[in-house]
Structure 1
Amino acid sequence: MSRHFLIIGGGIVGASLAYELSQSGQRVTVLEQHAVAAGASSKSFAWLNANYPDTPEYFALRLAALAHYRALAKAHDLSAFLRFGGSIWWEDEGEAFDAHAALLARHNYRSEVIDAAAFARLAPAIKNPPAKSLYAPEEAGVFLAGLTRWLIAQASANGAVVQTGIAVDAIERRGDRVTGVRTALETLSADHVIVAAGVLTGDMLAGLGFQLPMSNNAGLLLRSAPLPPLLDHVMMTPDVHFRQDPDGSLMMGEIFSGAFEAGCDIDALRSSVLDRVKARLTSPAPLAIAQTMIGTRPMPSDGMPAIGPVPGVKGVSVAVMHSAATLGPMIGHILAQELLSGEQAPLLDAFRPNRFSAQTPSAGEPAP
């Protein structure tokens, strides 16, 4: 029997959930207070990777997420969004570089150290290739806002109702069970509510009496005007990161996972990032900035995803994470399966929100 799932949030996580649940014939409503992909999903560097094996559980999660992307791309033509060209990484040098390469090798992560000649063959548009870099062929870049909108369009075609410009004022409950949500216009009932509200997730859950500590952080990214095809790979250099989307535009950033300082000189930082890319990239056309993006990334305080049932109340789940670009589509798939089957996936055991019930703080730097 079909159930009504109400999803708060129209970013990549909410869109993935809407897609998966609607594929299963469920009644789905998505409420997004702005536009689809208006938050972090349009302001993400969107490097799909498992390059930082922080913990065995998190590494396994990211590996599975990469595999899910490949399965999704095999089932659908996502060439307008996805570029599976791999990455070339040389953020660190010397002993730090060697240590990172050895770490990935110990985890059997598909990567190889390449010399300058091999680099030049892979990426001839890059000036002065380093003597040593790390090539990870199974990584990718994604035009995340485009993919998010595609998922929402697929969900809508499956019958999902998507309402934008609608803010959720409160999650409604009766006793120990959530019954729906309240907006400025109406109260909507649902069999199950899923909070995928990005940076607002902590505030949403606080109204239910559950404190999910968040360490949201800001970052700056630039998008160029479209250029001729130059890059197949995500470039992770010591002083700037950049990649090319299928439409020809470059995504560029110095800071995309959280060290951005409020009040800094945006114009100076933008010029600095652009100059660094120009110093590394040979382009037949002028490199011009088309868009400057300052976004806030949602992140639980320990740096790890929070996915699954909200402690202390029935009928509500949460899905919030940093690096939702990598994880979002797979999390949507697995969480939808859990909600439909009632069986919890072991892959998510380490990432349940009930780990915060004791409110034990944990500091950790998540992978980009």
Structure 2
Amino acid sequence: MKVAVVGLGVLGASAARALTLAGAEVTVFEREAPLAGTSGTSFAWVNSHSKNPRAYHDLNVAGMAEHAALAEDPGPNRPWLAQTGNLEWAADGTGIERLSAAVAELRARDYPVEWISPRRARELAPDLRVPDTDIAFFPTEGHLNPALLMARLWGEARANGARLRRAEVTAIGESGGKASLELADGIHEADAVVMAAGRWTEALSTTTGHRVPVADPEAPGSATVGLLGYTAPVPTRLNLVLTTPVLNVRPEGGGRLVVQGLDLDADADPADPPSVGGEHAAELCRRLGDLLAGAADARLESLRVGQRSVPADGLTVAGFLDQGSRIYALCTHSGITLAPLLGRLAAQEVVTGSPAEQLHGFRPQRLVGAGDLPPLRPARFAGQQ
């Protein structure tokens, strides 16, 4: 079976890997470079934290388990996943009420979470400056390095025969039992195509006659955009994720940290990215110094505007667009958490035709033909993404 994959972010790489493992002959089409889209500008927090409704929560829990299973046999690859946990606390009464409700909901779902003391939190993160308040610890959550995950997924796909073509796919169609991809130099035919085009999903799916609406990835200050700061190496001890009232932080490797201030995302604009010497960078560094001992002299090496891939209702899209089961769409805001799982399930459905029950509530038909949906609410509080 010949399958084309459009897009080489973590979703496309995962689909390519799983398809080759299932025996398919795979060609991946990428117009720029691996990780050139959303995957390269992600906070990369692996979790099922404040993800509703319940089916979406369960899907993300399964995604976390898929990562853990993949990491049990890393082979010669550098570890990409750190399931070292997440610490979260609140700063005021409203925040405490919100966090307490979230913890209660997650406990009711048997999601691992416990309240710990500031002293225990400092045992987990010795340089942490934490207020005298109860702290929620999520031990099974973690973070990953997108480039190292890509190396694992795409490396194995290549080893299994997947090929890469540097080309832009401008349209996708289906006729005569085949999928067709329109390129600048002609038409490529395949038995099926998997669209993993991220924030370009709406434009590309429209060419198929089955438009999948996504939230506008260019809208300043919206739910789809956010600022991510990448520090130079910092001599501070941190090996887990922090989601705090003023700053989200995770390790990046080599002593570097990724920092995010959700309230500052209101100023994020892809058309006007801020400078590493500007006020937003200075504020992120100030907050980091207040949060972690050893980080007082932190500086940013880059400050990026991340553009998220978010279907218009905020939930994952996974399934065939056409009745002939030739054009398969993948799009999700939770790509980092879900990539290995969605890649495997998509390959199952494409190669065998056997439906994946876990994807039942996430088919694209719920959005195809839908009118304008209300804008998604931006994440502005600790624990939101």
Could you tell me the TM-score, scaled by structure 2's length? Answer: 0.88
1:33 corresponds to which of 20, 31, 39: 31
| Count of aligned pairs | 364
**Contact 1:257–1:297 (CA under 8 A) maintained in structure 2:** no
Residue 241 and residue 25 in structure 1: after superposition, are their counterparts in 2 closer, same or farther (change >3 A)?
same
Counterpart-to-counterpart distance in 2, 1:210 and 1:250: 41
Q: Secondary structure at the match of 1:219?
A: strand
- Residue 183 of structure 1 corresponds to 183
Amino acid at match of 2:27: T
- Residue 54 of structure 2 corresponds to 56
Asked if residue 232 in structure 1 is aligned to residue 231 in structure 2, the reply is no
Once the two structures are overlaid, the 10-residue window that deviates more, 337-346 or 358-367, is 358-367
Counterpart-to-counterpart distance in 1, 2:285 and 2:236: 18
* Identity, % of aligned positions: 29
2:42 corresponds to which of 31, 41, 44: 44
Asked if residue 201 in structure 1 is aligned to residue 212 in structure 2, the reply is no
- Residue 221 of structure 2 corresponds to none
Amino acid at match of 2:228: L
- Residue 221 of structure 1 corresponds to 228
2:118 corresponds to which of 95, 116, 134: 116
2:15 corresponds to which of 17, 30, 34: 17
Per-residue Cα deviation, 1:197-247 (whole angstroms, up to 9, x for no partner):
001111111011112111032221011123456212100010110011343
Per-residue Cα deviation, 1:39-91 (whole angstroms, up to 9, x for no partner):
11110000000111411100110110000000000021555321110100125
Could you tell me the TM-score, scaled by structure 1's length? Answer: 0.92
Asked if residue 326 in structure 1 is aligned to residue 327 in structure 2, the reply is no
- Residue 87 of structure 2 corresponds to 88
Residue 130 and residue 317 in structure 1: after superposition, are their counterparts in 2 closer, same or farther (change >3 A)?
farther
Amino acid at match of 1:27: E
> Offset at 1:187?
1.9
- Residue 220 of structure 2 corresponds to none
Asked if residue 241 in structure 1 is aligned to residue 248 in structure 2, the reply is yes
Counterpart-to-counterpart distance in 1, 2:324 and 2:144: 36
Asked if residue 153 in structure 1 is aligned to residue 155 in structure 2, the reply is yes
- Structure 1 unaligned residues grouped into runs of 5+: none
**Contact 1:221–1:255 (CA under 8 A) maintained in structure 2:** no
- Residue 354 of structure 2 corresponds to 343
Q: Secondary structure at the match of 1:75?
A: coil
1:251 corresponds to which of 258, 264, 267: 258
Counterpart-to-counterpart distance in 2, 1:265 and 1:9: 27
Which aligned segments of 4 or more residues in structure 1 are displaced greater than 6 angstroms?
Answer: none
- Structure 2 unaligned residues grouped into runs of 5+: 218-223
> Offset at 1:259?
4.6
Counterpart-to-counterpart distance in 2, 1:265 and 1:31: 31
Counterpart-to-counterpart distance in 1, 2:150 and 2:136: 30
Counterpart-to-counterpart distance in 2, 1:144 and 1:221: 14
- Residue 102 of structure 2 corresponds to 100
**Contact 1:9–1:30 (CA under 8 A) maintained in structure 2:** yes
> Offset at 1:291?
2.0
Q: Secondary structure at the match of 2:305?
A: strand
- Residue 174 of structure 2 corresponds to 173
Q: Secondary structure at the match of 2:170?
A: strand
Q: Secondary structure at the match of 1:34?
A: coil
Amino acid at match of 2:232: A
- Residue 65 of structure 2 corresponds to 67
Counterpart-to-counterpart distance in 1, 2:34 and 2:257: 22
